[in-house]
Amino acid sequence: MKDSIRVAVIQPKPYPAFDDPRNIGHALQLMEKCRGEQLDVICLPEYFPTLGDREIGAAARRYKSYVIAGMVESEGDKLYNTATLFDRSGRLVGRQRKCNVASLEREKLSISPGDGIFRAFSTDFGKIGMPVCIDLWGQADAARQLADQGVDAVFNIAIFPILRGYWKTGASARAFENFLPVVGVNTADYNAVFGEKRVHQYGGGSFIIQPPKILDKDDFRRWARGLDNIDNWVQVELDELEQVYIGEVNLSAARRWRGEFFNRFGFRRRT
């Protein structure tokens, strides 16, 4: 397994309607900027592109990268807001359904809530979790479930018209209390349309948050004794514009030191 992975955070400016088929083409256009980058994960935000499993799977195969996309899944007469994972060959690995579904989603998009079980998905570099939007930062349960399953990183796809400042705060808390990296991916600033209603979606602020690199037990003890805040865990935070950011996520710190971290602070957790 790799000690670190290369990820592409794609922060798009979507077309106004969530199910606008032009968003598929726009997603593919942005993903083209990943060509030749030898990426492990390409991550798109919540509800983007909404449709297009076949096209996004083909792009994953083309770029030889795992891809996480915001899709709407249909099962029977129900619709689910999902983080959808494709592997490097373009195969659909699985979906994580959003559990805490907002009133706007329920009333305007007919989205049903998921079962509240957060699953670890295996990749060729380790395990990842994909809680959607508020499922991660709004409550502690999702990250706790995933850490107890031994995930190496969490990818949190989102749309943030409100509480943008708290998103990073909440995600930082989940990263700290579970000692794991969190990659948060939002849309850029744009105007959405729900039927006849226009809603400004304040966007941006996508981030990579991760524990520091720790060399050995002495280094860990020095870090823990001198801990005052975790501001330096925020490796990058994007502005509100559309962009593709390529960065590195370190997985080794969480693997090596999560158990020591739980023990040091007295957290009664699985390791």
Q: What is the pLDDT of residue 194?
A: 78
Nearest to 128 by CA among 143, 141, 113: 143
Per-residue model confidence as pLDDT tens digits over 213-244: 999 999 999 999 999 999 999 999 999 999 99
Is the confidence at residue 258, as pLDDT, over 90? yes
d(CA 152, CA 3): 10
Mean pLDDT of 18-33: 96
Residue 31 in tokens? 């993903």
Per-residue model confidence as pLDDT tens digits over 88-116: 999 999 999 999 999 889 998 999 999 99
Q: For residue 215, count other CB atoms closer than 10 A to its CB.
A: 10
* Nearby residues of 89 by Cβ (< 8 Å), 6 or more positions away: 60, 61
Please, what are the domains in the chain? 4-211+231-251 (3.60.110.10)
* Nearby residues of 154 by Cβ (< 8 Å), 6 or more positions away: 128, 129, 130, 131, 136, 143, 146, 174, 175, 180, 181, 182, 183
Is the confidence at residue 193, as pLDDT, over 80? yes
Q: What is the pLDDT of residue 160?
A: 75
Residue 66 in tokens? 């795992």
Q: What is the pLDDT of residue 271?
A: 61
Residue 165 pLDDT level (bands cut at 50, 70, 90): confident
- Taking the alpha carbons of 178, 12, 55, 248 in that order, is the dihedral positive or negative? negative
Mean pLDDT of 141-168: 91
d(CA 188, CA 23): 13
Q: What is the pLDDT of residue 53?
A: 98
How is residue 139 annotated by DSSP? -
How is residue 17 annotated by DSSP? B
Q: Which amino acid is at 126?
A: G
